Amino acid sequence: MKIAVNGWMVCGFQGEIKIGEVLKQVKEMGWDGMELCYGAGELSPTATMNELKNIRTMIESEGLEIPSLATGFYWSCSLGSPDAEERNNAIEFTKKYIESANLLGAGAVLVLPGTVDVCFDPNRPTVPAKEVWKWAQDSIHQLIPFAEQNRVILALENVWSKFLTGPFEFARFIDLFQSPWVKAYFDAGNCLINGYAEHWAEILAQRIARVHIKNFKRNNGGGTLNDFTPSLLDGDLNWNNLLQTLKNIGYDYYLTAEVIVGEQGMPNLSQTQKVAQELKQILHNEVST
């Protein structure tokens, strides 16, 4: 299994640090790839074809891969919104996102299919889950031909949006598309608030296209955003169980660390190096759970 670092960890949430400034350090830390974060800085929808190709060349020349792209865009503009203008904006953004992924050589883009609410933004509306399901299905159906044309998977992520809150529901949502271009971006940390990562992985199985990892401490059976931890080794995720389940279902691609909390905020290269060391320790079965 290969390991990748999420771009927010080393470049910041708004792309404050240019990608080229951190590549050498990312490689020296032992990462195999870098998940680029789209929507701000160098990787905005206004980036030209040549700019994207230059970024790809720069990363590949350092001996790194780009397994996927991620974005925070959908928290403020949802594919599952009942508002037609908002949905259309989300669809058009996703087309640029997919096109950029193709030029960068990334085989998947992280997509939030819809949000019932946004817990950290009280200005966002609460939308009935039935409505989110309906409109998210409609939006993603429209995007499948574009994803197929560009050979980029729409990897839907389980997040704290009160939508697709369990693995059976998530699997059913994906299966309705009947398309190899719609799969899961399974976040093993996000599901710890109400489940077990190994259970989710077993149920999602071959639907999983990419895996995000982070850790989380349950607090009286639940928790808040403050209970995500800055260390892969600090929390309730059972790494041995998760890795064995991923092996059982035949997943052997990237584990992408998205550890984006810490006292110093992001970017944080020292924390990123520590996470790389922790992940290598986990993969070498040196962690007791």
CA distance 183 to 170: 10
Q: Please state at what angle helix 84-104 crosses helix 49-61, rounded to 10 degrees.
A: 50
pLDDT band at 286 (very low <50, low <70, confident <90, very high): low
Which domains are delineated in the chain?
2-283 (3.20.20.150)
Q: Is 58 helix (H, G, I), strand (E, B) or coil?
A: helix
Q: What is the pTM of this model?
A: 0.97
CA distances from 25 to 53, 59, 250, 270 (A): 21, 12, 31, 10
Query: Phi-psi region for residue 278, left (φ > 0), alpha (ψ -120 to 50) or beta?
Result: alpha
Write down how long the chain is: 289
Q: Using one digit for the tens of pLDDT, what is the confidence trace for 202-233?
A: 999 999 999 999 999 999 989 999 999 999 99
> What's the mean per-residue pLDDT of the chain?
97
Q: Please check whether residue 271 is in contact with residue 279, taking contact to mean a CB–CB distance below 8 angstroms.
A: no
Q: Using one digit for the tens of pLDDT, what is the confidence trace for 27-38?
A: 999 999 999 999
pLDDT band at 285 (very low <50, low <70, confident <90, very high): confident
- 289 has a pLDDT exceeding 70: no
What φ, ψ does residue 238 adopt, rounded to 5°? -90, 100
CA distance 37 to 233: 25
- 287 has a pLDDT exceeding 60: yes
- 20 has a pLDDT exceeding 90: yes
Q: Is 172 helix (H, G, I), strand (E, B) or coil?
A: helix
Q: Using one digit for the tens of pLDDT, what is the confidence trace for 275-284?
A: 999 999 999 9
Q: Spell out where 10-66 has E strands.
A: 33-37
